[in-house]
Structure 1
């Protein structure tokens, strides 16, 4: 039996605007992240989530109330909370004797859980421990994924896709060099640990037009060890990546552009019979009949 969705009809004008903002769009708004705490959350893990919240703000929501959630066993309540807060991404922190400093990162599709990955957080250094200048809040970061495992392992490819959704902001068509201030580097070690590192970009004089680039670590810094996963099926994951027809670019055949930006087109014509081409009717071009031809005799 299929799932019957209840259609919500707005009562007020404000409710109508809220439902319209949550409706599907051709170009979707930047994804928001919901930060939640479990029944028990250590201060160590709360500091991790607080620094991640500062990196992602203003595109995120932090809930300080503790929730009785076990996402890996029953994600129903989590789906309700993400829908209520209009967030398609979430980070859930909990601390137990069996799984200390536990961080679950996941995403939703069509108001249901798509992917979830559970990590153990270790070697944490907060933003306050780095005594240097920080980047501007809300700036778009440059994401770097170091290590061949990101492309070789299907599981880490899914994690990479999730991390890109978590930390990217609005899509831009052009980038200004002075606007690049922040770099987030995800490094995979041979023992499959993910190292999270954050840097500030410094542009210094180099004696030529291209400046010399230096990276200064600003925090936070921590390591993630993968514990459990809950991944969607390949068909569902492929369906979540589907784009509307309006965004798909149509390739024009036989049209090319050169280095100067000029457009060149190639036209294909069929075989032509010159004798049957219709030309302008002129008296001089009119063919004379054989009867009217004069026979010229040789003298």
Structure 2
């Protein structure tokens, strides 16, 4: 026998609005993060989860209670159910054990199915939280500037996917056409060492100083958190599934205009096709100043005739 699932329909306007926001859109909302704790955690991982929650705020939801041990690399059904319940497409899961100390798992979902998942080990000796830096922070909801250092981000397929994951993780709203420079308040840098393959994440605040010119002088001040992560395991989506996630609806795609291109500077260049012209048949504009005066011509011709008659 097949069990039929009962569909509960909303009875209030608030419930209807909440379901309408979860419906598929042409331009999706910003990706939200779900922060989950494991059964066994230490104080450092608890602070780390709070910092990730603040970095993604207001697009972040945090579960305060501890959960039973979940093994995402074996079974992700429970985490997928939590994300669907909270309407989140990213999750951060922390645990701490003797086998895997200071364990952090970051993942992203597509259509409530886990797509890419990365497991990291936090270096607790170099870790510094947001509270350790006594300085001005950034406003929540602002888009950060992301900088990636390291050849592996462009050469190896696994680290290419990791770069794409962090861009998807921190980019925020995607339907913005223009960004105010004053709104760029912080920078997040990702540095990957080729030899040790240690991933260092730093967060800086952008400060504009007077330079005596129109363009201000920019200074970066570290505001935290400071993370040094070692990649333990990865679980990447297949190429076919990854290609499906990259598809865009036809309504969003820009219609290609014939014979119009855009160069590197952003200026539009147009190409016009014309037939070969015969310049002998080209009709120019007859200006009044170019016309000879008829009265002057008549006087000159009469004067020439008188001279000829006198000579005769």
Do the structures match in fold with TM over 0.5?
yes
Q: How does 1:26-37 map to 2 (within 5 A)?
A: 26-37=26-37
User: Is structure 2 residue 253 aligned with structure 1 residue 248?
Assistant: yes
Q: How does 1:128-139 map to 2 (within 5 A)?
A: 128-139=131-142
| TM-score normalized by the length of structure 2 | 0.80
Which residue does the alignment assign to 2:101?
100
> In the TM superposition, what is the alpha-carbon distance from 1:162 to its structure 2 partner?
1.2
Equivalents in 2 of 1:83, 1:130: separation in Å? 35
Which residue does the alignment assign to 2:163?
160
Which residue does the alignment assign to 1:16?
16
Bigger Cα displacement from structure 2, 13-22 vs 150-159: 13-22
Over residues 77-117 of structure 1, what are the superposed CA-to-partner deviations in whole Å (9 max), with x where a residue is unaligned? 11110000000000000011100010000011111111110
Which residue does the alignment assign to 1:58?
58
CA 1:73 to 1:267, structure 2 compared with 1: closer, same or farther past 3 Å?
same
Equivalents in 2 of 1:260, 1:108: separation in Å? 34
The secondary structure found in structure 1 opposite 2:116 is strand
- Unmatched 5+ residue regions in structure 1? 270-299
How many residues get paired?
Answer: 267
Which has a greater percent of helix? Answer: 2
The secondary structure found in structure 2 opposite 1:164 is helix
Q: How does 1:173-252 map to 2 (within 5 A)?
A: 173-190=177-194, 191-252=196-257
The secondary structure found in structure 1 opposite 2:79 is helix
The secondary structure found in structure 2 opposite 1:157 is helix
- Unmatched 5+ residue regions in structure 2? 276-312
Q: How does 1:31-50 map to 2 (within 5 A)?
A: 31-50=31-50
The secondary structure found in structure 2 opposite 1:124 is coil
Paired residues of 2:92 and 2:107 also in contact (CA < 8 A): yes
> In the TM superposition, what is the alpha-carbon distance from 1:220 to its structure 2 partner?
0.5
Which residue does the alignment assign to 1:291?
none
Equivalents in 1 of 2:95, 2:15: separation in Å? 34
> In the TM superposition, what is the alpha-carbon distance from 1:155 to its structure 2 partner?
0.6
Equivalents in 1 of 2:138, 2:72: separation in Å? 33
Which residue does the alignment assign to 1:293?
none
The secondary structure found in structure 2 opposite 1:108 is strand
Backbone CA RMSD of aligned residues: 2.4
> In the TM superposition, what is the alpha-carbon distance from 1:52 to its structure 2 partner?
1.3
Paired residues of 1:255 and 1:266 also in contact (CA < 8 A): no
Over residues 166-223 of structure 1, what are the superposed CA-to-partner deviations in whole Å (9 max), with x where a residue is unaligned? 1111132222222221000011012111101000011111111111111111111011
Equivalents in 2 of 1:244, 1:8: separation in Å? 28
The secondary structure found in structure 2 opposite 1:226 is strand
CA 1:100 to 1:174, structure 2 compared with 1: closer, same or farther past 3 Å?
same
Q: State which structure, 1 or 2, has the greater radius of gyration over its C-alpha atoms.
A: 2
Paired residues of 1:57 and 1:137 also in contact (CA < 8 A): yes
Equivalents in 1 of 2:180, 2:44: separation in Å? 37
CA 1:94 to 1:256, structure 2 compared with 1: closer, same or farther past 3 Å?
closer
Q: How does 1:74-93 map to 2 (within 5 A)?
A: 74-93=75-94
> In the TM superposition, what is the alpha-carbon distance from 1:266 to its structure 2 partner?
2.4
